[in-house]
Structure 1
Amino acid sequence: MKGFLILILTAIFQIASFCVAYSQSELRLEDIFANGTYNQNRFGPIRWMKDSKGYSSIETNAEVGGDDMVIYDARTGRRSVLVSAQDLIRVGASSPLKIADYEWSEDNTKLLIFTNTRKVWRYHTRGDYWVMDVATKTLQQLGKGLPSSSLMFTKFSPDATKVAYVSEHNIFVETLADGKIVQLTYDGSDVIINGTFDWVYEEELNCRDGFRWSPDGESIAYWRSDAKDVGTFYLINNIDSIYSKPIPLPYPKVGEKLSSVKIGVVSASGGDTRWFDFPGDPQNNYLARMEFIPESREIMVQQLNRRQNTNTVWVGDVDSMGLVKILEDTDEAFLDIHDNIQWLDNNNYFTWTSERDGWLHLYKVSRDGSSSTLITKGDFDVVRISHIDPTGGYVYFIASPENYTQRYLYRSPLTKPGKAERITPAEYPGQHAYQISPDSRYAIQTFQNVDTPPLYSVVSLPNHRLLRVLEDNRELKEKFTALRLNPKEFFKVDIGEVVLDAFMIKPQDFDSSKKYPLLFYVYGEPAGATVQDSWQNGDLWHHYIAQLGYVVISIDNRGTRTPRGRDWRKSIYGQIGILASEDQHKAAQKIFATYDFIDSDRVGMWGWSGGGQMTLNCMFRYPEVYKTGIAIAFVSDQRLYDATYQERYMGLLEDNAWGYREGSPLHHAENLQGDLLIMHGTADDNVHYQSFEMLVDKLIKHNKMFSMMSYPMRAHGINERENTSLHLRETMTKFLLEKLPSGGR
């Protein structure tokens, strides 16, 4: 009897163990999009200290319930608490300040803490700021008397005796010793924007912080935008009140008026602003970048024309207000703005990024623009500048000459052209990023690939010796491995004119003798790429779809943001949605001919934003191929999108009316034959719900049957409010299973 009981208990234990193992290996939508089961750990934010001997970070203090500011010795890893959570408890408060972000003063004696943040469109750029004197642990709130959580982009003066910030579109300077606040601008309003930017500058030119301290701390140069002539688009909130509430959004659509932007200089102690007089209509040019030249009273400004094919660089004297043109970069298609300017050789030279030789490279340019020398030489693109070290004589940068899906650290000498030296060891294939110390001796390395969640380490340079691991996301890696998923396979697709990069995920029970439905995932726009050897949160959504019995494939067509040279990226100029959908169609045909296990009668496509637009273009242009589609947050008519993005890649509407019409899926909706699901958030400030409704209207006009799902008061990411992400993915899954039958046959 006792032995029988032991057998029963053993069997129960084995069954329980099997169930636990099974539950750990089962991929569920709830775990991906609701339960946080596969959330990754991060480390930081990290700031290198001025002496390069250590770096600071934020770590949770479980005892107090807040954040500690800690310092690590880069060489030894020795940890010390510089500011404890206890130090961040204000007088009269029961809990410490929560650190959303922080900045050091130049001398590392003061700490600027950003907390209680609020989102401005997509990013948390508004909130409260506090300053701590590290030596005395004195905590001081900034902006007293101004509206709560209204401060933006607070910055120390060069000597750290003052700070400047924006509140309600006006600029203020506060003296730390006595808390005295001086208001520098007074005309800030809903349409007059001082020290920050309107929607389109933020979204498309990556401009947010709109003022700069002069090196001597005596002046502030700033942008002023007048949006009174910009058309207003109204988002409508129908769910938070019994009456609808319109939300006005100044938003320049294609061909419409832009904000009138200018740059002025004002004394940090107050007074009148003096304005630079840049040539050209301020409503038809962009003042895209502005920085002070070190140790000077001069600013460098990059001015883009409206077509965004000419970048004129000016030097402006803040005393005389005179302007001198020193450089002009042009392209037959379009130019991107690059933030890689570093002043060298006693500020007589600066670094400049250009595609003038067909590849994206770094150049050394004289202060007057008369001479230019190539620094990063070779048939490859510089993906990102990681660090420029004038003392050591090198520029460190990310590139990938052999594999466009991966990223590695290289360096080249600043003084003479030479072959780029690879720093990242070959045994770590994937994508790497580096936060390098000021003296270039150490770096915080982030490594990832399709099977490896981000791994944060400290390495020494240039030998790339591992000193310690900061965060390895081991638990997440173990969960991912336990799922026993088929690996994401990278492959090439030769469509004749060019060879495209692609990836494929097969079902877990894949049988090559059977035919499986194919779901293409597409983006296809010049703002990004999908075929990357990076973690991408494990790409668990696509693994889940493959688990249901689909082959998932993604292809980067020409024009996507990959390091394949100028001609690759500029090939789509004037034909967004046209060339890309042709590439996708040709690649699909090649895949059908290559892989016998693909069922060409069961082919679908899905995409978000630009990928939603591409899905519609492919379904409407090639209905015989794409039988099922899901388009999310898409642009149906390119004239509806913002002027800065669309005109950069399509040219002006007056010059390319045909391209705008031909590249817009709205004008091909009558060709729909397959099953289509369209989804959109009604509060999308980026791609307006208008795009969705116009397509619905056109499909109805042509008597086309389709499915639709609106998400009220959700923005472009459709992730606000309770349960949204899970509901969206459940809706997609249900549609695919109904319209694109799964499984091998």
Structure 2
Amino acid sequence: MHRCLLSTLLLPLIILAADKKKPEFGPLLSLEQIYEKNEFNSKGYSMKWLNPGQGYVRAEKSKETKDAQDIVQYNPATGRKNILVMAKTLIPKGEKKPLKLNSYTFTEDLSKVLIFTNTRRVWRRNTRGDYWVLNRDNGQLKKLGGDAEESTLMFAKFSPANSNHVAYVREKNIYVEDLGSGQIRVLTNRESDTVINGTFDWVYEEELGLRDGYRWSPDGKAIAYWQLDEEGVPEMNMLNNVSGYYPKLITFRYPKTGETNAIGRVGVVQLEDGQTTWMKVPGDPRNHYIARMDWADNSSQLLLQQLNRLQNQNKVMLAEVRSGKVKTAYTDEDQAWIEVRFGFTQWIEKGKQFTYVSEREGWRQLYFVSREGRKARKVTEGKYDIIRVLKLDEVSQLLYFIASPDNATERYLYQIGLDGEGLKRVTPLGQNGSHSYSISPDAKWAFHTFSNLDSPPVTNLIELPSHKTVRVMEENQVLREKLSKLKRPQTEFFRIKIAKNLEVDAYAILPPDLDSKKKYPLLIYVYGEPAGQTTVNSWRGSGGLWHWMLAQQGYVVMSIDNRGTTAPRGNAWRKSIYRQVGILASKDQAAAVKQVLKDRPYLDAERVGVWGWSGGGSMTLNALFRYPDLYRMGISIAPVPNQRLYDTIYQERYMGIPKDNEEGYKKGSPITFAKNLKGKLLLVHGTTDDNVHYQGMAKLIDELVANKKQFEMLAYPNRSHSVREGRNTTIHLRTAMTDFLRRALPVGP
């Protein structure tokens, strides 16, 4: 008895001693660690470059004011810092706490700073809120907007010529406010509720990346702006079933494929008299898109880019702001489509030439175009794509851009002379993965961030063009230590041959203790649409760690990029899916899965699953419905079951106008083949998804029911396309996905 008592007394001491030695993180990941406790979140390094010679600024925790941030200026050469704005100077009169810094902008002389705070979400981003101006010379803090309602101002900007003038958009009109006198003038007019000035409708924002819809002239005497009129655009209705006892109707204009677009035009309003001159751009304004607009290196002309509705022609135009007369300087054409989102426009040689990115000769390259359009000289040559142009520096006569000529899954910094000579990789060798850069205005410095599938981001300050590291800004050391304690999966990038002279890129995440004599279930993570690429060798955050967790549990996770994705493999690769989205891509995916099953005997052909989100959700449906004997389960989140239900700009860009491609739309839509479902399917959708509407999910469910097909379904009320709003939504979704996967595609013998 005494021995037992002694053992009982000693046991807690032994456990306590063991607990002290036990690592904080066990060898296996859990959903709670990843999505609830956020124990593996990586850190970035947020900053903003100032004008040449002024260094950079960033918001940092204030030492004097609790729960607040100062704005600090840094000298990149020495690292010396100077507090430009102390948090205590941002406390409004009568308040106790300083303004929250959502974003901020300085005047060129740093005498004033514009603070954006109290923000609200508009579709994707928080672009609506309150603006305040702090005068650093006298400490005066002033709220803009006069009697404007809370959080109704957008895109406030100082005049480039007079820091006492600030323009902003308020309730779809453009205003200018004089900080000295306090006078507020409305510069635009809304003749009806369907008119939008200085910002955009849903589809322009989502598919052309346009939000801020006005530009100050360099001399500060005029403002150029977009105006849209949504009259005639069909309305989309969604229901909010959560906020009260009765559902609330959410209505907005949304042009589905083949339907009527908003009228788009560009005008220039003179501050002197408030009169707008409209640019006389030819063509039906409902069936053309003014996709880009800015001042043409002076205050008398604008440079416009006009896409036709098919988006296979881009006319670059010069517009006279006083008369509105327009002249086409350059025309770019493609047999499929043109992507303006990869463009880069900068004036050089004192306005004699401008830059333009085109795929017209088979690869995405940079051209110099003369102001009048008589000459177009290609600067970059070779069989490689410019992924993104970062900086053109006339002083050093160098162009910096991201490319990866030898490996479409990686990203590196390159430079070339403006004469087209001296192509050189700037990123050092031996750092395989993805590299991104924020280059200073004078091209002497850059913040360089590097990561890969196995390693979280490291951010350094470097010198250019040497790429010499000046100092490490963020290396995520704490996260690295946590990851080092895990039972790490194996990762690899490889190519799969799916036809003669055709290979596709892929990566695999393998169980840590994979035994090639055993059989493992295969889960494919897919996107496959022409708006993205999954096989990029970069850190994947929480989504990547979920895949790690599955690999730890015995799953093999792979991702494959079919033809038609944005991979830097040439124009022919990307445009091969024109007018057949969903058809060729799912064929490539299936061919790759079949081949990898042959190449790797440890993969179980009877346990193949697929999952994806948005376009990947559509591809998941295509996989299960078109190849029901290959895929045994799928998780489809926020898919587009019927391409006719998506918007004009995106879907018509890749599929053409519905009346000209009825068969393509039908065969490319997963709902057409829903009757073929054999495997287990989990459908997930947010009921107020303004992007990919719940309507499509309802139609798919109706079709599955009509064909006696069983499935599981999660409808998240009042969630958008990201399915992230509301308490515990993300952990709930990931738990549901994991549980379904374990049931439908179990690990083990």
TM-score (norm 2): 0.96
Distance 1:9 1:631 in 2: 48
Amino acid at match of 1:75: A
Q: Secondary structure of the residue that 1:376 maps to in structure 2?
A: coil
Deviates more, 1:663-672 or 1:730-739: 730-739
Deviates more, 1:295-304 or 1:638-647: 295-304
Distance 2:697 2:668 in 1: 16
**Displacement of 1:688:** 0.2
Work out which of the residue numbers 59, 70, 74 in structure 1 matches 2:76.
74
Work out which of the residue numbers 25, 28, 36 in structure 2 matches 1:26.
28
Give the match for residue 600 of structure 2.
Answer: 595
- Matched-pair contact (CA < 8 Å) for 1:620–1:665: yes
Shift of the 473–157 alpha-carbon distance from structure 1 to 2, 3 Å rule, reads same
Distance 1:107 1:335 in 2: 40
Matched, 1:651 2:648: no
Distance 1:503 1:136 in 2: 58
Give the match for residue 507 of structure 1.
Answer: 511
Matched, 1:454 2:457: yes
Work out which of the residue numbers 259, 266, 270 in structure 2 matches 1:263.
266
Matched, 1:281 2:284: yes
Distance 1:652 1:66 in 2: 52
Matched, 1:355 2:359: yes
Q: Secondary structure of the residue that 1:654 maps to in structure 2?
A: helix
Work out which of the residue numbers 639, 660, 667 in structure 2 matches 1:662.
667
Give the match for residue 619 of structure 2.
Answer: 614
Distance 1:347 1:81 in 2: 37
Distance 1:332 1:433 in 2: 31
Give the match for residue 378 of structure 1.
Answer: 382
Give the match for residue 58 of structure 1.
Answer: 59
Shift of the 235–189 alpha-carbon distance from structure 1 to 2, 3 Å rule, reads farther
Give the match for residue 568 of structure 2.
Answer: 563
Q: Secondary structure of the residue that 2:391 maps to in structure 1?
A: strand
Q: What pairs up with 1:28-107 in 2 under 5 angstroms?
A: 28-44=30-46, 46-61=47-62, 63-64=64-65, 65-107=67-109
Work out which of the residue numbers 441, 444, 456 in structure 2 matches 1:441.
444
Deviates more, 1:173-182 or 1:251-260: 173-182
Give the match for residue 197 of structure 1.
Answer: 200
**Displacement of 1:636:** 0.3
Q: What pairs up with 1:683-702 in 2 under 5 angstroms?
A: 683-702=688-707
Q: Deviations over 1:347-374 (max 9, x none)?
A: 0001110012211011111001111111
- Matched-pair contact (CA < 8 Å) for 1:24–1:483: yes
Q: Secondary structure of the residue that 2:573 maps to in structure 1?
A: helix
Matched, 1:178 2:181: yes
Give the match for residue 425 of structure 1.
Answer: 428
Give the match for residue 172 of structure 2.
Answer: 169
Shift of the 135–454 alpha-carbon distance from structure 1 to 2, 3 Å rule, reads farther
TM-score (norm 1): 0.97
Matched, 1:135 2:137: yes
Deviates more, 1:558-567 or 1:538-547: 538-547
- Matched-pair contact (CA < 8 Å) for 1:182–1:270: no
Matched, 1:671 2:673: no
Q: What pairs up with 1:142-541 in 2 under 5 angstroms?
A: 142-159=144-161, 160-187=163-190, 190-337=193-340, 338-414=342-418, 416-497=419-500, 498-537=502-541, 539-541=544-546
Amino acid at match of 1:636: P
Distance 2:20 2:505 in 1: 42
Shift of the 424–272 alpha-carbon distance from structure 1 to 2, 3 Å rule, reads same
Q: Deviations over 1:466-518 (max 9, x none)?
A: 11111111111221222122132111101114111111111233211100111
Distance 1:298 1:40 in 2: 45
**Displacement of 1:4:** 10
Distance 2:509 2:112 in 1: 50
Work out which of the residue numbers 87, 108, 111 in structure 1 matches 2:110.
108
Distance 2:636 2:537 in 1: 25
Distance 1:336 1:418 in 2: 26
Q: Deviations over 1:575-603 (max 9, x none)?
A: 10000000001001100110010000111
Distance 1:493 1:14 in 2: 51
- Matched-pair contact (CA < 8 Å) for 1:266–1:272: yes
Deviates more, 1:639-648 or 1:485-494: 485-494
Q: Which runs of 5+ in 1 are unaligned?
A: none
Distance 1:40 1:129 in 2: 30
Deviates more, 1:384-393 or 1:323-332: 384-393
Q: Deviations over 1:628-682 (max 9, x none)?
A: 1111100000000011000000111111111100000001001001111111000
Distance 2:415 2:13 in 1: 60
Distance 1:17 1:742 in 2: 34
**Displacement of 1:122:** 0.9
Q: Secondary structure of the residue that 2:215 maps to in structure 1?
A: strand
Shift of the 722–367 alpha-carbon distance from structure 1 to 2, 3 Å rule, reads same
Shift of the 157–53 alpha-carbon distance from structure 1 to 2, 3 Å rule, reads closer
**Displacement of 1:427:** 2.5
Q: Secondary structure of the residue that 2:617 maps to in structure 1?
A: helix
Identity of aligned residues (%): 47
- Matched-pair contact (CA < 8 Å) for 1:235–1:683: yes
Q: Secondary structure of the residue that 1:403 maps to in structure 2?
A: coil
Distance 1:61 1:69 in 2: 9
Distance 1:487 1:167 in 2: 52
**Displacement of 1:295:** 2.6
Q: Secondary structure of the residue that 1:645 maps to in structure 2?
A: helix
Distance 1:391 1:421 in 2: 18
Give the match for residue 586 of structure 2.
Answer: 581
Deviates more, 1:450-459 or 1:235-244: 450-459
State how many pairs are aligned.
740
**Displacement of 1:15:** 2.6
Q: Deviations over 1:277-297 (max 9, x none)?
A: 211111100011110012331
**Displacement of 1:186:** 2.8
- Matched-pair contact (CA < 8 Å) for 2:519–2:603: yes
Give the match for residue 631 of structure 2.
Answer: 626
Distance 2:180 2:456 in 1: 46
Distance 1:607 1:139 in 2: 48
Q: Secondary structure of the residue that 2:285 maps to in structure 1?
A: coil
Give the match for residue 714 of structure 2.
Answer: 709
Give the match for residue 641 of structure 2.
Answer: 636
**Displacement of 1:6:** 13
Amino acid at match of 2:92: R
Q: Secondary structure of the residue that 2:469 maps to in structure 1?
A: strand
Provide the aligned C-alpha RMSD in A.
Answer: 1.7
Amino acid at match of 1:559: G
- Matched-pair contact (CA < 8 Å) for 2:277–2:322: no
Amino acid at match of 1:292: W
**Displacement of 1:14:** 5.2
**Displacement of 1:452:** 2.1
Q: Secondary structure of the residue that 1:667 maps to in structure 2?
A: helix
Q: Which runs of 5+ in 2 are unaligned?
A: none
**Displacement of 1:734:** 1.2
Distance 1:6 1:509 in 2: 39
Deviates more, 1:287-296 or 1:59-68: 59-68
Amino acid at match of 1:144: G
